Amino acid sequence: MSPTRAPVPPPPARTARQLREATSSARRRHRPDADLNPLRQGLRLERVPDPCSFVLFGATGDLAHRKVIPAIYQLWRTNLLPAEFSIVAVARRPYTDEAFGAEVRASVEANSRVQPVDEAAWAELAKRITYQQLDFGDDAGFDRLSERLDALDAERGTAGNRLFYLATQPSQVTEIVRQLGRVGLDHEMRGSGWRRVVVEKPFGRDYESARRLNHEVAKVFRESQVYRIDHYLGKETVRNLLVFRFGNGIFEPVWNRSYVDHVQITVAESLGVESRGAFYEETGASRDILQNHLLQLMTLVAMEPPSSFHADALRDQKLQVLRAIATPDVEHVRHDVVRGQYGSGWAQGAAAPGYREEPEVDPESETETYVAGRFTIEDWRWSGVPFYLRAGKRLPERTTEIAIQFKEVPLPLFRESTGDPAPNVLAMRIQPDEGIMLRFAAKVPGLGLDVRTVNMDFDYGTSFSVDSPDAYETLILDALLGDASLFTRADEVEAAWAVVTPIIEGWAAMPAPRFPNYAAGTWGPEAADELMERDGRRWRRI
């Protein structure tokens, strides 16, 4: 008989910090990004980034407090950041480390998607946050910043890796980038670590300004170091669109002009401009939404299958779509593009002011808060298929949706049973309730032949019973990992502006509509409905 073995005690539970340190150690022993299998390149697995310093410019601003810092906290809480991690918060206001830490703690409590705040996780992260007051035009201040980052490398083991996140006004980007180059914080020499810069939208105001900005950034950083962020590309359903298209064999064969009648993409916001009147006067819906969010969604719907999920393979295909969009001329702008501005009305059960009554808005403003247009892609897959894009503020709901409407059947065999049969629709909801809906015809149970339209609905929340990460969590982690798949490249930005700039210039050359031309709480101006009706179509009721 074999001798009885003493039971082996279970290993002791490890703290979150020990888990991070163990993961960091394992990562140093085997780096997933060294995998040479081309099928794996570009497919981000959940792994911990290299030790690094996260330098947040504009750290006292609204974006940093509402989005960036809460996203970093969530990544830390879920053990997706290395133990050797530090945040250097940079802004013009005078703060001590303690005062700034208390302020961002309140922001995390107000804006974190998971409540209540994990006090132990926050305490560990707070130890890694330091604040540096800095005027972006101050040479001596950037010299001190460089010295501080070198000191953090020695104190906290951040290994010379730095991510510079520019959560600032667009006008400040060029100066910050110039200063980073002046003190050598862009340099990537052997053994000195990687250096990356994240730039928020809007990237330029038109085609020429975007080209100039790209040129100025390229004087300091290589394109591979630059991450132009569009948070829509980090949303779960947007990312799932690639899997839906290229991971399933049944949809791609009908994803073309032979089967698709038209495509509708909607980005609707129920809020007005709130306290961002001055910003919106400078941008409008065309610069704020059309140039980036809407056109990026359009490229993901229309792109050809990439050869891999490597960043440049994806972005090459998106670029081809942007370059194939028929460039709007004056006649196209006049007949196929609609602009609107909301007036007073009712929104979410309360009286809402008109745009011209909002703070910091010109009482005679001609800035558009709504844009809708009909666009075509001149390639073999999509020639003749219209893409209808619309975005607006003070609409009835906050929702973003991509709807693919298929052509009607060639012979309506069941017209007597259905009346006028509804065509098949595939709708991808991007926010707020992420999911996918497929509409098709089915027979009603019974002895007769009664055919009705039904919906097959997939919802992320109920199907997976897990919270989707915030888009900023996804994108910040990808930037730290060096995965640029969901970030826009310089030529992409310029190609998108090449579509939108003629629209802006066309509007400048013609009289503005009689603003306001839609009431708050409605779906936009009547001209947008007429745009669809001329083609025998109508906007989806969302």
Active site residue 231: no
Distance CA 300, CA 305 (A): 10
Nearest to 17 by CA among 82, 65, 70: 82
Distance CA 221, CA 181 (A): 8
Whole-angstrom CA distances from 508 to 168, 333, 366, 500 are 28, 11, 10, 13
Distance CA 338, CA 340 (A): 7
Containing H/E element for 261? strand 260-268
471: tokens are: 């888009």
Write the DSSP symbol of residue 33.
G
Burial label for 381, CB within 10 Å (0-12, 13-18, 19+), is middle
Which amino acid is it at 411? Answer: L
Q: Are 424 and 406 in contact (CB under 8 A)?
A: yes
466: tokens are: 């897990």
The residue written with tokens 């005078």 in the block is 94
Which regions of 167-259 does DSSP assign to beta strands (E)?
195-200, 226-229
Q: Are 264 and 403 in contact (CB under 8 A)?
A: yes
Nearest to 471 by CA among 117, 205, 201, 224: 201
Containing H/E element for 99? helix 97-111
Distance CA 236, CA 238 (A): 5
Give residues with Cβ within 8 angstroms of 530, minimum separation 6. none
Distance CA 316, CA 324 (A): 13
Nearest to 195 by CA among 158, 153, 156, 164: 164
Biggest CA–CA distance in the chain, Å, is: 99
Distance CA 344, CA 357 (A): 8
* Phi, psi (rounded to 5 degrees) for 237: -70, -30
Distance CA 483, CA 173 (A): 22
Q: Are 90 and 132 in contact (CB under 8 A)?
A: yes
Nearest to 195 by CA among 232, 234, 226, 163: 163
Distance CA 481, CA 32 (A): 10
- Catalytic residue from among 293, 310, 332, 335: 293
Nearest to 54 by CA among 197, 155, 151: 197
Please report how many Cα atoms fall inside a 13 Å half-sphere around the Cα of residue 195, on the Cβ side.
19
Q: Count of H helices and E strands in the chain?
A: 18, 18
Q: Is the peptide bond before 116 cis (omega within 30 degrees of 0)?
A: yes
Q: Catalytic residue positions? A: 293
